[in-house]
């Protein structure tokens, strides 16, 4: 793994909230599955391979490269590319090499160069993101006894999320974690899943709005 430049990082199993990149990916994946399965929501699992292929084929804004290119050192040929080659009579499937080591050296150079450029692009985009987010971020803090709305799956469907409640915060674990009682369950929540503190004057109005609205996540 070290020879290939891979760094092993561990996170809590089956708890995507502890890995911000994985949580963001899951949100985007659910959003795309939701759009594709609007008419037939129970077929979402059959579309996962196609959606993942689209992820790997499209260049990321952060790196400027598709994940497939960074992994294999070449562009992926999707169905549209194959059809275009057939219609135009061209063949861009492979590039001829006299020796295997020539291909290996060329592949190594392409992957190394692509990864270096992707790392620089990611560093630039990350700095821009931090600057933009810090200028619009407002720190939220809750206390024990506060009534909050919690982002939960709707009717057991994880593709549909909405704020439900209000629920009372029973304990403040630390700056970003709270313990709330949802029915008979005790939930430990992180900040992004909680809405603002609800006061008596706007409690009924916000609760009614949340019951009538849905959110994808």
Q: What is the 3-state secondary structure (H, E, C) of 91-132?
A: CCCCCCCCCHHHHHHHHHHHHHHHHHHHHHHHHHHHHHHHHH
Give dist(CA 190, CA 198) in Å, integer: 17
pTM score, whole prediction: 0.57
Give dist(CA 64, CA 167) in Å, integer: 43
pLDDT at 213: 46
Give dist(CA 148, CA 163) in Å, integer: 9
pLDDT in tens, 164-174: 778 888 888 77
pLDDT in tens, 10-37: 777 777 667 777 888 888 888 888 888 8
pLDDT tier, 216 (very low <50, low <70, confident <90, very high otherwise): very low
> Is 196 a residue whose pLDDT tops 80?
no
pLDDT tier, 159 (very low <50, low <70, confident <90, very high otherwise): low
pLDDT at 52: 92
**What CA–CA distances, in Å, run from 119 to 8, 10, 37?**
18, 21, 35
pLDDT at 203: 47
Q: Which residue has the higher pLDDT, 209 or 3?
A: 3
For the chain, give the longest Cα–Cα distance.
78
> Is 110 a residue whose pLDDT tops 60?
yes
CB 113 within 8 A of CB 63: no
Task: Provide mean pLDDT across the span 185-206.
Answer: 56
pLDDT at 94: 55
CB 32 within 8 A of CB 49: no
pLDDT tier, 104 (very low <50, low <70, confident <90, very high otherwise): confident
> Is 201 a residue whose pLDDT tops 70?
no
Give dist(CA 34, CA 53) in Å, integer: 16
Task: Provide mean pLDDT across the span 151-171.
Answer: 75
Task: Provide mean pLDDT across the span 131-137.
Answer: 73
> Is 125 a residue whose pLDDT tops 50?
yes
């Amino acid at each position: 793994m070290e020879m290939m430049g891979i760094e092993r990082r561990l996170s809590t199993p089956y708890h995507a909230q502890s890995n911000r990149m994985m949580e963001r990916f899951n949100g985007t994946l659910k959003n795309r599955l939701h759009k594709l399965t609007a008419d037939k929501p129970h077929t979402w699992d059959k579309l996962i391979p196609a959606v993942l292929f689209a992820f790997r084929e499209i260049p990321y804004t952060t790196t400027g490269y598709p994940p497939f290119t960074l992994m294999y050192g070449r562009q992926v040929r999707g169905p549209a590319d194959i059809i275009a080659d057939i219609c135009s009579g061209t063949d861009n499937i492979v590039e001829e090499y006299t020796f295997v080591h020539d291909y290996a050296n060329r592949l190594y150079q392409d992957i190394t160069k692509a990864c270096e450029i992707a790392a620089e692009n990611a560093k630039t985009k990350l700095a821009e993101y931090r600057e933009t987010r810090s200028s619009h971020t407002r720190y939220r803090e809750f206390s024990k006894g506060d009534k909050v709305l919690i982002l939960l799956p709707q009717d057991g469907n994880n593709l549909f999320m909405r704020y439900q409640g209000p629920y009372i915060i029973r304990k403040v674990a630390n700056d970003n974690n709270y313990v709330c009682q949802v029915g008979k369950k005790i939930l430990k929540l992180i900040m992004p899943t909680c809405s603002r503190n609800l006061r008596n004057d706007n409690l009924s109005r916000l609760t009614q709005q949340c019951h009538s609205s849905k959110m994808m996540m």
